[in-house]
């Protein structure tokens, strides 16, 4: 079930790390890699002065696995993405913890 939404990174850059990212996250979370989905979102950032350069933003939607695992996941993402972006550019990883009562699959409660 871990679902990772990615924006602020080119599709080609995400595609180049997708397999390694999923494999690494599967090991860190002790979850089969077939349970992961990556969602690419093409977005434009706009500030008060107009368009702004994008920065990589990862949203991880999952059942909570604790702060230690979150830190490992964030570090893994940073390690894989950092070589693909400008020096000093930010990388954001945000976690959305889903509770079992909030999750339905194929119309059924999980």
- What's this model's pTM, rounded to 2 decimal places? 0.90
Please report the domains of the chain, with CATH numbers, ordered by start residue. Answer: 3-109 (3.30.429.10)
Instruction: Label residue 47 by pLDDT band (50, 70, 90).
Output: confident
Instruction: Write the DSSP assignment of 73-94 as a string of letters.
Output: HHHHHHHHHGGGS-TT---EEE
User: What separation in angstroms does the CA of 61 have from each of 27, 29, 49, 51, 53?
Assistant: 17, 13, 32, 28, 25
**Average model confidence (pLDDT) for the chain?**
92
Q: By percentage, how much of the chain surpasses pLDDT 90? A: 75
* pLDDT recorded at residue 81: 98
Contact 7, 45 (CB under 8 A): no
């Amino acid at each position: 079930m871990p679902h990772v939404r990615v924006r602020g990174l080119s599709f080609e850059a995400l595609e180049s790390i997708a397999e390694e990212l999923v494999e690494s996250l599967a090991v860190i979370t002790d979850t089969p890699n077939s349970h992961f989905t990556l969602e690419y979102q093409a977005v434009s950032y706009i500030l008060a002065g107009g368009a702004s350069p994008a920065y990589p933003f990862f949203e991880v939607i999952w059942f909570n696995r604790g702060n230690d695992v979150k830190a490992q996941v964030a570090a893994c993402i940073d390690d894989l993405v950092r070589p693909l972006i400008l020096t000093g550019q930010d990388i954001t990883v945000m976690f959305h913890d889903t509770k079992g009562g909030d999750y339905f699959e194929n119309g059924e409660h999980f």
